[in-house]
Amino acid sequence: MVKKKTCVFISGNGSNLKNLISNSRNSNFPVKISLVISNNKSAYGINYAKKNKIPYIFINTKIQNYENKIFLNLKKYGISFICLAGYMKIISTKLIRDYRKKIINIHPSLLPKFKGLNTFQRILKNKEKKTGCTVHYVNENLDSGTIISQKSFDILINDNENTLRKKTQRLEYSVFPQAIIKIFRYN
């Protein structure tokens, strides 16, 4: 199996990146993490790239034409697939068009509910009975692309933002790799 050279975009702790790197070591997993891009110089997730000798770059999204640096690096490393794993920036329309159906994101809610930020706070405020996570294709609208995979769990009476975050992350660690396998099984 020829693995797809994949770039993971992160902004923070990188726990999903760590999980994807671990999965990519399996010979049957369809992607190889070949590049990590972060918009946050101090993102802890960069340590997983360093530890696993994966090239990584910092993109200052506050400067003009920063997207050119993204495109140059995607081309340089032969990237054909992109995973957004806690990347807290909007992806450009040009990147979405150039990588149509080749960019996926994991979101900590059961989309289409609770798109965007402050997800757990809004879930609790809305007194939801269930929550979970969604892997979806990225399109021009925030958290609105075609859903690839979704898993849920029941919200308990004593759950708070922190417990929901932890439960959701645990679920993400199985859902994200399963969604990637599903994508390449049918392509």
Residues marked as catalytic:
107
Residues 104, 16: Cα–Cα separation, whole Å = 13
Residue 71 tokens, joined? 């495109």
Please report the DSSP string for 71-105 in residue order.
HHHHHHTT--EEEESS--SPPPHHHHHHTTT-EEE
Residues 25, 51: Cα–Cα separation, whole Å = 14
Contact 33, 20 (CB under 8 A): yes
Nearest alpha carbon to residue 17 among 1, 2, 31: 31
Residue 52 tokens, joined? 């696993």
Residues 12, 26: Cα–Cα separation, whole Å = 25
Helices within the chain (DSSP H only): 15-24, 46-51, 66-76, 93-98, 119-125, 161-185
Q: What is the DSSP letter of 156?
A: P
